[in-house]
Structure 1
Amino acid sequence: MKKSIVIITCFIFISCSTQMKINKSKDIDILIKTPVKLITDEPVMFTIKNNSNSTYVIDPYGFVGNSYWMLNNEKLNPINFSRGYRSREDIDCRNDLIILNPKQKMDTTLSLNFMERAIYDFSKTGRYTRIIESRHNGKNGMLLGCKQYINELERKGYRLLDDSIDAKIPFVK
């Protein structure tokens, strides 16, 4: 009887989430626990893991591509678009860029498609999925004014992440 209670209690408190790799690189893993809770005012956390012996530079705003939301396998239409743009000074680059040392692992936030300006309505119930196809490279990482700082780091032997994301990330409400 006691064994049954312990086993049932364990099943109640075990969460059923898994980590999903969303990028293509073998040196760097970008992982997300799925399904992700859809909380619009909280950032989504990613785990970045360096599997190599190199130090990598990752711009959290350096992913650019195509992304959209789906609800129950139907593409959502945006209800609005945000305005404005982001630019950075050298000090911003030093604060923003992620320096990932060999074999290091960290939890952080990322913008998986910096150019996306769409605003969506998440009030309906159902299965939400975020579709993302984006790329992180020197061109994208320097869009916001970090060229000088990134070049400085590369001269020191750091490597700028050159990677792509092709993911369908499930969300739950």
Structure 2
Amino acid sequence: MGKENSKGAEIDGCANTASAVDTYDVSGFPTLKFFPKSNKAGEEYGGGRDLDDFVAFINEKSGTSRDGKGQLTSQAGRVESLDVLVKEFVAASDEEKKSVFTRIEEEVEKLQGSASSYGKIYLKAAKNSLVKGSDYAKNEIQRLQRILDKSVSPAKADEFTLKKNILSAYA
């Protein structure tokens, strides 16, 4: 879960929580609820009680892509509509690449939220591929992996993982 998108809370069912129990219609323990901004009553979680099921639920509801250890998955940052264009971009001749690049720019303009920031990474990768050649993505992925293999902050690890994931569409 990205801290910027999600928060967790725990209410002790044995303490003075009668008002919380009544407010949120808690009939048994443990009760897990998801509270999107649009739903103050919350949505009860009825899935499996193992970590993978719970993480999959949170990822689906919050638009994240994390594993059970909190690390970004290989799909984090990927935007399907841009992946389709990147496939065209990679297969295109040098002359056609500029035309596909323009279409990537147009698609990025349509994106909102976190997808918009991912789109900027796609654009930068396409631009660098035009300038530095078709090996750019492969070389940059290797460089980022060398950095990730060292000790980096969780925020930097997320940033580099997102870039690496997006670059893999070009490789």
TM over 0.5: no
Structure in which a larger fraction of residues adopt strand: 1
Rg comparison, structure with higher value: 2
Structure 1 length-normalised TM: 0.23
Q: Which has the higher helix share?
A: 2
